[in-house]
């Protein structure tokens, strides 16, 4: 396994392998996998499809008795050498599961399964001379251990972010095999921790592929409009393996741009482009430019393309400015769950259905809680002109006083910023959801905010804060608000607190002179269940909560955006009420089977007729 430790400047976004050091006081956490950017624009050998799988509830083939990793377990994919040889597992004789895909929704007996599942795939491969090959995993929930031809090449923790294993020295010409053990056991010191209001879908939930690159390759770049400017593109290109003097060219043919640069000793070339006359990206005009990046010259050169929108996002006083113009964010939240069939989304059709339902409701913005969704989803939002809130799973009461947990959270944040900072749609990094304000929590999230700002100086930082109800007042006063660009908060008046009738009398008070965003409100309803507006779980009850909320929210000063909770019903182990919930959180405006509830139309009317929301 290639294990490298880079300087902090690399980690905070100046390019280079994401073998990051996270400096946390005296604590050092070295993450062992690199991370290629813009992977979806590279030529790849897909390993998607059927993989042989072994269900290993006790982690027998993975863990030694002391919990360490057994390098000579099932990862070796042994075959009996003689008729007397004892091998107590066989991938070849085991059933298959589809990759990408969670295991829970592929086999009935795995719906509630938590533990280790082994995946194995055979493939033929021909490495080219003077190249490196990475095994790319889009996401594996929650921990993954990767073996190529019997040798462990990397491991990764974090269920929603990608990683790349350098498999160059373990691959050979001809027949090869890869084995990946995925363990979705929930951990007290995990991110997220033991309790979440979403399903713990396990497995290789996103694409797996092989990516071949030259010896010197572009592993990272960042090109964006300088904050506040509509004409200056700045950033860098990092060429892994290069020293000083490597030529780099950035071309944007549709804007007539050709920019030459040269790497410094760390392989990094600074880019600064004067680009007058750019058409800026916005929901109304989601203009993407084809960007071509080349590093090196001659046979060993590396070339990448990307489709990038250029826009600015800022806060001025209590306003949010997109390309310098105040905007109200008409949003909705969407969990990463496939419409109609459930489970993790695995295709563009899954994502497009969700975003189309949102768009039809009149949104210009989606909150994607509580963990990073796929890069494909962000690409689609880029093309459809939908602004996006991305979030890391710092959810409820994780171990805020544990430096290793901070390291895990910072790692996931770094990975998602690195993956998605080329997406114009993404305007927010959310560092947390509903975290109780304690001194340890404050320190933890201040560190997260500092990391996010260091890695991306152009986007807005937020977090969904808890609010507190005192009689008819909802107070937004979490001390974290002082550190955020936009103060987002959740409130469930009419559902968890008070009655829908009380909502009219509520006053929301926030102590921060900043833009406010209502990141959650809502109520549950079982689609097709009709009763009067006082009957819980009826569509009428939910629609009434929405009507009352909208009326009350019209009076909230500085409200610059809202995301009702949420677009579609989703699976949750916390929601057990038979006949109503049946393990689904029913706060969707649309059922898991695609039926629009009355409240959907209440929101749609308000958004399409612009009867809610002021940009200034």
Query: What residues make contact with ligand GCB under the rule CB under 6 A?
Result: 197, 370, 433-434, 490, 520, 565, 585, 587
227 Cβ contact partners less than 8 Å away, ≥ 6 residues apart: 312, 314, 457, 458
Q: Which is nearer to ligand GCB, 117 or 464 (CB)?
A: 464
Q: Report which of 523, 529, 570 is spatially closest to residue 548, judged by C-alpha positions.
A: 523
Q: Which two tokens stand for residue 211?
A: 């990516």
Q: Which is nearer to ligand GCB, 157 or 197 (CB)?
A: 197
The count of C-alpha atoms lying within 13 angstroms of the C-alpha of 255, restricted to the half-sphere facing its C-beta, is 27
**Nearest-approach distance from CB 522 to ligand GCB, in angstroms:** 7
The count of C-alpha atoms lying within 13 angstroms of the C-alpha of 51, restricted to the half-sphere facing its C-beta, is 30
Q: Which is nearer to ligand GCB, 318 or 490 (CB)?
A: 490
Q: Which is nearer to ligand GCB, 235 or 345 (CB)?
A: 345
**Nearest-approach distance from CB 395 to ligand GCB, in angstroms:** 7
**Nearest-approach distance from CB 588 to ligand GCB, in angstroms:** 10
Q: Which two tokens stand for residue 566?
A: 């949420």
Q: Which is nearer to ligand GCB, 238 or 370 (CB)?
A: 370
Distance in angstroms (rounded) separating the CA atoms of residues 281 and 225: 11
Per-residue 3-state assignment (H helix, E strand, C coil) for 327-359: CCEEEEECCCCCCCCCCCCCCHHHHHHHHHHHH
- CA 450 → CA 12, 348, 357, 444, 483, distances in Å? 10, 34, 35, 10, 9
577 Cβ contact partners less than 8 Å away, ≥ 6 residues apart: none
DSSP assignment string, 575-586: ---TTTTSSEE-
R_g of the chain computed on alpha carbons: 24
Q: Report which of 243, 307, 308 is spatially closest to residue 269, judged by C-alpha positions.
A: 243
Residue 326 bridge partners (DSSP): 321
**Nearest-approach distance from CB 234 to ligand GCB, in angstroms:** 36
Residue 475 bridge partners (DSSP): 468, 509
**Nearest-approach distance from CB 490 to ligand GCB, in angstroms:** 5
Cβ-closest position to ligand GCB: 197
Q: Which is nearer to ligand GCB, 311 or 571 (CB)?
A: 571
**Nearest-approach distance from CB 558 to ligand GCB, in angstroms:** 21
Q: Which is nearer to ligand GCB, 136 or 587 (CB)?
A: 587
Q: Which is nearer to ligand GCB, 259 or 467 (CB)?
A: 467
Helices marked H in 361-480 — which ranges? 375-384, 403-420, 439-455
Q: Which is nearer to ligand GCB, 410 or 490 (CB)?
A: 490
**Nearest-approach distance from CB 197 to ligand GCB, in angstroms:** 4
**Nearest-approach distance from CB 396 to ligand GCB, in angstroms:** 8
Q: Which is nearer to ligand GCB, 305 or 497 (CB)?
A: 497
173 neighbors 127 (Cβ within 8 angstroms): yes
**Nearest-approach distance from CB 492 to ligand GCB, in angstroms:** 7
């Amino acid at each position: 396994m290639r294990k490298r430790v880079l300087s902090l400047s690399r980690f905070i976004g100046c390019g280079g392998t994401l073998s990051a050091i996270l400096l946390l006081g005296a604590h050092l956490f070295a993450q062992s996998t690199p991370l290629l950017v813009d992977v979806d624009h590279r030529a790849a050998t897909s390993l998607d499809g059927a993989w042989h799988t072994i269900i290993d509830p006790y982690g027998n083939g993975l863990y030694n008795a002391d919990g360490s990793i057994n390098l000579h377990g099932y990862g070796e994919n042994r075959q009996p050498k003689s008729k007397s040889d004892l091998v107590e597992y066989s991938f070849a004789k085991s059933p298959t599961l589809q990759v990408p895909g969670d295991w829970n929704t592929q086999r009935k007996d795995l719906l509630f399964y938590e533990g280790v599942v082994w995946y194995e795939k055979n493939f033929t491969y021909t490495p080219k001379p003077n190249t490196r090959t990475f095994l790319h995993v889009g996401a594996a929930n929650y921990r993954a251990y990767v073996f190529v031809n019997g040798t462990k090449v990397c491991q990764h923790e974090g269920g929603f972010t990608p990683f790349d294993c350098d498999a160059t020295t373990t691959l050979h010409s001809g027949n090869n095999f890869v084995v990946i053990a995925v363990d979705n056991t929930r951990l007290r010191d995990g991110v997220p921790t033991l309790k979440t209001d979403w399903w713990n879908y396990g497995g290789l939930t996103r694409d797996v592929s092989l990516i071949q690159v030259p010896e010197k390759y572009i592993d990272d770049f960042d090109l964006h409009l300088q904050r506040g400017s509509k004409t200056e593109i700045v950033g860098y290109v990092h060429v892994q393996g290069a020293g000083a003097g490597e030529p780099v060219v950035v071309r944007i043919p549709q804007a007539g741009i050709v920019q030459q640069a040269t790497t410094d000793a760390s392989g990094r070339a600074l880019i600064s482009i004067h680009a007058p006359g750019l058409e800026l990206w916005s929901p109304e005009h989601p203009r993407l430019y084809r960007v071509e990046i080349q590093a090196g010259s001659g046979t060993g050169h590396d070339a990448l393309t990307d489709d990038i929108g250029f826009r600015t996002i800022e806060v001025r006083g209590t306003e949010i400015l997109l390309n310098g113009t105040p905007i109200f964010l008409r949003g909705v939240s969407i969990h990463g769950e496939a419409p109609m069939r459930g489970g993790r989304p695995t295709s563009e059709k899954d994502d497009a259905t969700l975003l189309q339902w949102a768009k039809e409701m009149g949104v210009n913005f989606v909150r994607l809680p509580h963990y990073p969704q796929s890069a494909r989803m962000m690409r689609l939002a880029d093309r459809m002109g939908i602004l996006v809130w991305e979030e890391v799973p710092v959810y409820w009461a994780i171990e805020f006083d544990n430096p290793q947990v901070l390291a895990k959270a910072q790692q996931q944040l770094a990975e998602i910023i690195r993956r998605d900072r080329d997406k114009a749609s993404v305007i927010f990094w959310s560092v947390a959801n509903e975290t109780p304000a304690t001194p340890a929590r404050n320190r933890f999230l201040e560190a997260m905010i500092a990391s996010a700002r260091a890695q991306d100086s152009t986007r807005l930082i937020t977090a969904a804060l808890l609010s507190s109800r005192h009689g008819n007042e909802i107070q937004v006063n979490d001390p974290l608000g002082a550190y955020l660009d936009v103060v987002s908060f959740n409130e469930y008046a009419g559902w968890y607190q008070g009655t829908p009738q009380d909502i009219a009398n509520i006053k929301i008070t926030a102590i921060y002179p900043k833009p406010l965003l209502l990141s959650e409100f809502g109520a549950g309803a079982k689609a097709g269940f009709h009763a009067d507006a006082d009957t819980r779980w009826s569509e009428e009850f939910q629609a009434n909560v929405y009507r009352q909320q909208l009326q009350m929210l019209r009076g909230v000063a500085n409200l610059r955006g809202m995301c009702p909770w949420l677009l579609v019903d989703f699976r949750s182990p916390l929601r057990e009420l038979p006949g109503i919930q049946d393990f689904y959180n029913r706060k969707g405006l649309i059922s898991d089977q695609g039926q629009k509830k009355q409240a959907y139309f209440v929101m749609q009317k308000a958004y399409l007729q612009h009867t809610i929301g002021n940009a200034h």
